[in-house]
Amino acid sequence: MSIPAKKDRSVRFRTRDAQETMALAGLLSQRAPAPGLILLEGALGSGKTTFVRGFLRGLGFKGDVPSPTFTLINEYGRTRPPVFHMDLYRVEPGELENLGLEEYLGHPEAVSLVEWPAVLEPLYPVDRLEAYFRHAPGGRREIRLRGWGKESRRWLESVA
Ligand X SMILES: Nc1ncnc2c1ncn2[C@@H]1O[C@H](COP(=O)(O)OP(=O)(O)OP(=O)(O)O)[C@@H](O)[C@H]1O
Cross-sheet strand order for the sheet of 36-42: 2-5, 10-15, 140-148, 128-136, 36-42, 111-115, 83-87, 73-76
Among 9, 26, 67, 140, binds Mg ion (CB under 5 A): 67
Strand partners, 76: 83
Among 10, 29, 50, 152, binds ligand X (CB under 6 A): 50
- Nearest residue to ligand X by CB is 47
Instruction: Give the CA radius of gyration of the chain.
Output: 15
Query: Are 140 and 8 in contact, with CB atoms under 8 Å apart?
Result: no
- Residue 90: other Cβ atoms inside 10 A: 11
Strands 140-148 and 10-15: antiparallel
- Nearest residue to Mg ion by CB is 49
Binding of ligand X by 17 (CB under 6 A): yes
Considering only residues 94-133, where is the footprint of ligand X by CB under 6 A?
115
Binding of ligand X by 67 (CB under 6 A): yes
From the CB of 44, what's the least distance to ligand X, in Å? Answer: 4
In 3D space, the residue among 23, 24, 35, 26 whose CA is nearest the CA of residue 102 turns out to be 35
Q: Which of ligand X, Mg ion, none binds 46 (CB below 5-8 Å, type-dependent)?
A: ligand X
Name the residue nearer to Mg ion (CB basis): 48 or 128: 48
Q: Which residues bind ligand X (CB under 6 A)?
A: 15-18, 20-21, 42, 44-50, 67, 115, 139-141
Q: Which residues bind Mg ion (CB under 5 A)?
A: 48-49, 67, 115
